[in-house]
Copies of this chain bind each other. A is one copy, B any other.
Amino acid sequence: MTRIISVKPLTREAFAPFGDVVEAKDADSFPINNGTTERFHDLAKIDTSMEDGQTIVSIARSQPFSLPLPIKMMERHPLGSQIFMPMSGKPFLVIVAQANSDGLPGEPVGFLAGGQQGINYARNTWHHPMIALEAVSDFLVIDRGGEGNNLEEYFFEGKEYIVNDAA
């Protein structure tokens, strides 16, 4: 039986079990540069130092997917958090799951991120690889560099998940 993954708008509150939403909206801020710039300060918990890890900055260029999209696997990073920030103002789809009692992904849930919203997957959060929607999309990535095995993958077997639409 195929289960349909529900997709909600991305908000800090709804995403809190999975990490941070990186956006200016409703964030604390203060003026800098003689008032010509407003700084929305310290928006995510960067957690990259395990096993001598370092914080690194990269760009991910993602091909767009069309819906409906089957969700066949998820991944997580046991050694570090991971921020994806859209560089071109385009919305994208985020699929995450809380771990079940065996540490494997539970029921996946979906969030539609607006083009001015980034996400920070907390360390060890199960998530699907990037799902750009409209066009090839660049994201600034802030995650962990260093030695050690920082990738776990899980392929769903005996369960079929699908995202029908992003609304």
* Residue positions of A touching B, CB distance < 8 A: 22-24, 27, 29, 32-34, 36-44, 46, 48, 54-63, 65, 83, 85-89, 116, 118, 120, 129-130, 138, 140-142, 145
Q: B87 touching A85 by the CB < 8 A rule?
A: yes
Q: A22 touching B59 by the CB < 8 A rule?
A: yes
Residue of B nearest to A85 (CB): B140
> A52 CB to closest chain B CB, in angstroms?
12
- Chain copies in the assembly? 2
Chain B residues whose CB sits within 8 angstroms of the CB of A34 once the complex forms = 129
Q: B33 touching A130 by the CB < 8 A rule?
A: yes
Known: A46-B55, A54-B46, A55-B55. A60 touches B32 (CB 8 A): yes
Chain B residues whose CB sits within 8 angstroms of the CB of A88 once the complex forms = 89
Q: B37 touching A61 by the CB < 8 A rule?
A: yes
Chain B residues whose CB sits within 8 angstroms of the CB of A55 once the complex forms = 46, 48, 55
Known: A37-B130, A116-B138, A140-B85. A22 touches B61 (CB 8 A): no
Q: B86 touching A59 by the CB < 8 A rule?
A: no
> A53 CB to closest chain B CB, in angstroms?
11
Chain B residues whose CB sits within 8 angstroms of the CB of A24 once the complex forms = 59, 61, 138
Whole-angstrom CA separation of A85 from B58 in the bound complex: 11
Return 15 A-B CB contacts under 8 Å, by A number: A22-B140, A33-B129, A36-B65, A37-B62, A40-B58, A40-B60, A41-B56, A46-B56, A55-B55, A57-B120, A57-B142, A85-B85, A86-B87, A88-B89, A118-B140
Q: B141 touching A142 by the CB < 8 A rule?
A: no
